[in-house]
Amino acid sequence: MNTVDFRRHLHSHPELSFEEHSTAAFISEQLDALGIEHRPIAGTGILARIEGRRGNLKRCVVLRADIDALPLQELTGVEWASQCDGVMHGCGHDCHAAILYGVLKRLQLERDFEGTVLGLFQPAEERGFAGARKVLEEDPFKEYDVAAVIGEHVDADLEVGELGFCPGKFMASADELHFVVKSVTAAGRMAKSPIVAAADLIMRLNAFNSDVCKVSVYRTVAEGIADHVAEECRVEAMMRTYDEKLRGRIKDMIAHATEEVEYKYDVEVATDIHHGYPCVENDTQLTYEAMLLADSHGYVVRDLERIGGEEDFGCYSQLYPSLYYRLGVSRAAGRKHTATFLPDERALAVGEEFMYQLSLSILNK
Ligand SMILES: [Zn+2]
Ligand SMILES: [Zn+2]
């Protein structure tokens, strides 16, 4: 099967996070047809393995593609559009999986490289399901010396033939902070207001904002009436950082700030943190090498600014030398996570060739 047909098959049969059963079955079938060894991972993922003909087989490169789709009703009108009501590959993960398949196919045909290639079809990247975390819980690379984990994402801000890179800190961590500020004194006319305490807490949260940390309070709820102060005030905020150490430190400082507010206003503050994805940090050396390689193959290399979005690829980049780059799919593709997102399929060949060359250059180093 060719890469375009592979992608179109996945596109017309999208599945949501951790429900990628027929996706995994299809991938498994196609790998079987090529004689590529593989096994299930993280429930609905697939881990493929190709050993080179030479070198240290314990040294490996992990190529990662996410495979899940989104709860969207597709409106692209293409002939290979989603056949599943209310589910759509609206983030291009069908492209990522197809490119990985194409790369593995080429590597398997030649096997003319050193070490081992692991092809990771990872489930559940979207909506905080953190398939990457589930993959790593199985510690699948423990027998290996991981030279690099490589991943990509389609990008509609880049044209076909353009590749985007950002050495070092690239994508932010994302944590949701939920607070309930409750008055501990008697309710009624003269009660101390948890709203005032919450306002103080909000100002303290706001003070964490800097170049490397963003805390945005996006919701507050307190429902009092005249002469009867609300008994509680809810505050919800999103916290993003570009540094894991800082992320931990700020969480400690937030705990300290809530204690101070409790003491000062005679309130109780219940804190619930939804720990989201970690920062995506690109290995600088690996990134520069990839940029040179892309340039030498005639691709247009774009320097990217770090971005505020999150991605569970960060789980790998915290543990292994990693590179997460962007693949141009044309501005005409429209916005991802919309019902009309339509990447230019010519990007598949670019993505495949580049990931193939990059794998060889790392393995044969
Ligand atoms: Zn997405
Ligand atoms: Zn995505």
- Please indicate, yes or no, whether residues 45 and 138 belong to a single structural domain of this protein: yes
DSSP string, 37-85: EEEEETTTEEEEEEE-SBS-TTEEEEEEEE---BS-------TT---ST
* Domain end among 275, 302, 328: 275
pLDDT above 70 covers what percent of the chain?
98
Query: Which protein residues have a CB closer than 5 Å to ligand 1 (ion)?
Result: 91
pLDDT in tens, 159-192: 999 999 999 999 999 999 999 999 887 665 556 7
Ligand 1 centroid distance, CA of 274 (Å): 19
**In this structure, is the dihedral angle defined by the CA atoms of residues 101, 38, 282 and 70, taken in order, positive or negative?**
positive
pLDDT in tens, 324-356: 999 999 999 999 999 999 999 999 999 999 999
Tokens 């045909």 locate to 109
* Ligand 1 mean position, distance from CA 142 (Å): 29
Q: What residue numbers bound the domain in which 63 lies?
A: 3-172+278-363
**What CATH number should be reported for the domain holding residue 155?**
3.40.630.10
| Rounded-to-integer distance, Cα 207 and Cα 210, Å | 8
pTM: 0.92
Residue 279 CA to residue 309 CA, distance in Å, equals 9
Bridge partner residues of 152 (DSSP): 325
The model's confidence at residue 29, banded by pLDDT at 50, 70 and 90, is very high
Among residues 243, 275, 307, the one where a domain terminates is 275
Cα-to-centroid distance, 51 and ligand 1 (Å): 31
First to last CA, the chain: 31
198 plus 249 within the same structural domain: yes
Confidence tier at 36 by pLDDT (50, 70, 90): very high
Question: For the ranges 57-61, 76-80, 158-162, 190-194, which has the lowest average pLDDT?
Answer: 190-194
Q: Do both 262 and 293 map to the same domain?
A: no
Residues listed for the chain: 365
Judge whether residue 193 has pLDDT over 90.
Answer: no
CATH number at residue 186: 3.30.70.360
Ligand 2 mean position, distance from CA 126 (Å): 7
The total number of structural domains that make up the chain: 2
pLDDT-derived band at 268, boundaries 50, 70, 90: very high
Compute, in angstroms, the gap from residue 52 CA to the centroid of ligand 1.
33
**CA nearest neighbour of 278 among 237, 235, 322:** 322
Ligand 1 center from residue 79 Cα (angstroms): 22
pLDDT at 229: 86
Query: What spacing in Å lies between the alpha carbon of 153 and ligand 2's midpoint?
Result: 6
C-alpha 117 – ligand 2 centre gap (Å): 23
Q: Which of 225, 247, 275 is the last residue of a domain?
A: 275
Averaged confidence pLDDT in the chain = 96
**C-alpha of residue 336 to centroid of ligand 1, in Å:** 7
Q: How far apart are CA 250 and CA 239, in angstroms?
A: 9
Distance 229 CA to ligand 2 centre (A): 44
- 145 plus 23 within the same structural domain: yes
Give residue 57 CA to ligand 2 midpoint distance, Å. 31
